[in-house]
A and B are shown apart, each in its own frame.
Chain A
Amino acid sequence: MNEAPRYYVPHSSPWPIIGSIALFVTAYGAVTFIHQSTDTVAAEGSFGQPIFFTGLALIAFMMFGWFGIVIRESLDGMTSGLLDRSYRMSMAWFILSEVMFFGAFFGALFYARIISVPWLAGAGNNLETHVLLWPDFADTWPLFMTPGGGITEAMEAWGLPFINTVILVTSSVTVTFAHWALKKNQRVLLPIWLAITVALGSSFLILQVIEYQEAYTELGLTLGSGIYGSTFFMLTGFHGAHVTMGTIMLTVMLLRSLRGHFSAENHFAFEAVSWYWHFVDVVWLFLFTFVYWF
């Protein structure tokens, strides 16, 4: 009985409440910012933009503070056994919630491709909709012309997107090499592989920016170009945001590994980030298949 692990319960902490306030400021700022920039309500006297960025800064501040404590606890050896397992499990469940978040957008993509676009073109028992409302509309994917008449070109899969696929898959491999290095206590190889992974992640992002530019300026593919553009930018955009977060977290891991923070046995943060990175990679494979390729 006495063998059972004693559990570390942290005492009160200011970071959660700072985080709640930060979220609130961000949310409030985001809405007023959007209202200002889209003229939804009168813009005078509201400070959406500065409030929004203050909120984001507060969130960053909170994360620094909060993770700082957790790191210190871990260095003091308080994060052992049970707590480590709790952290791991919660990261896994968190990733499941992220899977479901992307699931909503993939759901929208499949719904559009399998149901709404064919139906608008008269499939099933929807001939009247087609004839009466959108007689010129044809069922194609990518949707070059919307029922309302909006026109766009499609993004070619085998150009930048394919290069990006190679980059991300490679980065998943390099992060695994980093993990192996850590497990074998190869303190020189670890930061090298991590740095390569960060570089790959960053190049992915740069290429995605170039791709977006091409979409907007040359293809006429924008958020506003019908359901094709909507699903395209929503999926790739949120994915890109996740790659950004992942790259930042990998950079933090790189800096921490240079400071000698991890040991072969105790490196939850590193593993969490690498799980996250693999997850982002898998999402991309689905994206590449269903958004770009087929």
Chain B
Amino acid sequence: MVAQAEEVIQHRSKLLAYIARWLLTTNHKDIGTLYLCLSFTLFFIAGAMAMVIRLELFQPGIQFAEPQFYNQMVTMHGLLMVFGVVMPGFVGLANWQIPLMIGAPDMALPRLNNFSFWILPFAFGLLLSTLFMEGGAPNFGWTFYAPLSTTYGPPSTDFFILGIHMMGISSVLGAINIIVTIFNLRTPGMTLMKMPLFVWTWLITAFLLIMVMPVLAGLVTMMLTDRHFGTSFFSAAGGGDPVMFQHIFWFFGHPEVYILILPGFGIASQIIPTFARKRLFGYHSMVYATLAIAILSFVVWGHHMFTTGMPVTGQLFFMYSTMLIAVPTGVKVFNWVATMWRGSMTFETPMLFTLGFVILFTIGGFSGLMLALVPADFQYHDTFFVVAHFHYVLYPGAIFGIMAAVYYWLPKWTGHMYDERLGKIHFWTAVIAVNLTFFPMHFSGLAGMPRRIVDYSLQFTDFNMVSSIGAGLLGLTQILFLYIVIKTIRGGEKASARVWEGADGLEWTVPSPAPHHTFEVPPPFPPMMEDNERTPLNE
């Protein structure tokens, strides 16, 4: 009896210790894992919402979703994917990798790091709970334009506002931590211009976060006071202007879309040299291009508002500045291709996802250029063409970037190789499904199908059916991804420290799986790789 009771107690205290470990941890690897798990969970929740949307759009007419509910799904899908999946996903990668890549023992402010993470589950809990509230969840799109979100927003809008505040606090604190870590904890010898590009792109992303998340916070605060305390920021009767909402939102929003892609650029710049077994082409131009993109991203926001009403000079300014961004973006794509040129390439899953990223992201960049032309945008704005554009840059862009990174570094994290055959199946089904889903949207959009509407005219049926079938397949492939990740965590072929033959960088000098504490003493730089055939990052 006594022994049994003791066993129960022991079991309990083990469980408690386990919970406490994750709740109280200050370890960058633990916190990175937490971020990635949160991101993955929300990926499936937001993905389920996308399935509802695509199911409804499979045929014209109203099948399953009432218009109100459809609007809620569109809104929550967008908000969760942007704030809950891509951002925490990248932060998770940053947490795991930045200390490993710069030879630091941990993040600069480990307790703050824990705080940044644990705010998020509460914030998203708050946001998700709005689905069950009276009056329903937010239903005004992820851009929450006034007056839809002020005068006409449901009561749950206020929970959404406070949720945004919490995410904002988390992002700003996380970004501060990342910047300080990068500036302060690099191993001696790693100058700024010798940092791996993933670190560089995250440094710039963190800067963008610090610059624009507070603006978003200010914006939702004005919404809150307009809703409840009688202010007239977004109401013409009081001398304000609903269009001002759009200006402030997009001043945040455009840098935000680069927050969603820059770390992906960094990931591609890590992976391509590894599998091309060549040094990255044009390291310096990569850094400067990223900086240029980040700075330009503050002066292009008007391209989201061409049809809202703006003086012609404003339209011209925003058109040219937007097209200017395509130049540094083009530099990056050129450099990736040039890195592969005459490389001795192999096509493991991370490389496949990266190649998908480069090609399909570029398609999204081209449709962005089309949208940047003022007269053309008058036709395209608020149609499915825009939906096609941003899904091309976000799914095969940001999401493929995260997946490539997960395949690339998973052996380092778990000590096991993933199943290469399954990984390839995952890639090929995903890449086919992504195009099936989003390519037809270009056509339906050009033909005039409006976005965010539950029903559509008959002539768009074929395109939508193809999209919906693609979306279903895309959803299934991600279940395969989940299976692959779990399988790798539980076992598999042992991974060596270097994992990939062509890999270079400090993270490959520690054993796989990376021990709980690494680099308690700053490692030598350039790194000593396992074998002598080093291909240094840059010299």
Contact = CB atoms under 8 A, between A and B. Distances in A.
Interface stretch (A86-94, A171-179, A213-221, A262-270): A86-94
A133 B161 CA distance: 31
B251 interface: yes
A286 interface: no
Q: How large is the interface on B (under 10, 10 to 19, 20 to 34, 35 or more residues)?
A: 35 or more
Interface-central residue, A35, A86, A119, by most chain B CB under 10 Å? A86
B228 A17 contact: no
Given A9-B106, A20-B115, A100-B214, A112 B24 contact: no
A1 B521 CA distance: 9
Interface in B10-42: 20-21, 23-26
B111 A10 contact: yes
Nearest to A150: B238
Interface in B499-539: 517, 520-522, 524
A146 B118 CA distance: 44
A104 interface: yes
Nearest to A129: B236
Interface in B109-124: 109-112, 114-115, 118-119, 121-123
Interface stretch (A196-204, A226-234, A244-252, A272-280): A226-234
Interface residues of A, number: 74
B63 interface: no
A132 B399 CA distance: 49
A17 B24 contact: yes
A119 B247 CA distance: 16
B453 to A, nearest CB: 28
Contacts of B177: 90
Contact of B225 (A7, A12, A147, A234): A234
Interface string A100-121: 1111110110011001110110
Interface stretch (A23-31, A158-166, A185-193): A23-31
Contacts of A230: 222, 225, 231-233, 238, 240
Q: Is the interface of B mostly helix, strand, loop or mixed?
A: helix
A124 B416 CA distance: 66
A93 B238 contact: no
A100 B232 contact: no
Given A96-B210, A97-B213, A103-B215, A143 B239 contact: yes
B239 A86 contact: no
Nearest to B238: A226
Interface in B121-137: 121-123, 125-126, 134-135
A251 B167 CA distance: 30
A35 to B, nearest CB: 6
Given A12-B24, A34-B228, A104-B219, A17 B118 contact: yes
A148 interface: yes
Contact of B115 (A19, A85, A96): A19
Given A82-B185, A86-B109, A146 B237 contact: yes
B218 A40 contact: no
A259 interface: no
A17 B23 contact: yes
A7 B118 contact: no
Contact of B108 (A2, A86, A111): A86
A203 B239 CA distance: 33
Interface in B157-184: 158-159, 161-163, 165-166, 169, 172, 175-177, 179-181, 183-184
A105 B221 CA distance: 10
B155 interface: yes
B20 A148 contact: no
Query: Closest 8 CB pairs between A and B?
Result: A104-B218, A224-B230, A148-B237, A12-B24, A16-B115, A230-B231, A227-B239, A27-B162
17 contacts: A1-B521, A2-B521, A6-B520, A12-B20, A17-B118, A20-B121, A93-B179, A97-B172, A97-B211, A103-B214, A103-B218, A116-B243, A120-B241, A146-B239, A147-B239, A223-B230, A224-B230
Interface of A: 1-2, 4, 6-7, 9-17, 19-21, 23-24, 27-28, 30-31, 34-35, 38, 40-41, 66, 82-83, 85-87, 89-90, 93-94, 96-98, 100-105, 107-108, 111-112, 115-117, 119-120, 124, 133, 143, 146-148, 150, 222-224, 226-231, 233-234
Given A10-B26, A41-B134, A90-B108, 8 more contacts: A31-B158, A38-B228, A89-B179, A90-B180, A100-B210, A147-B236, A150-B238, A234-B231
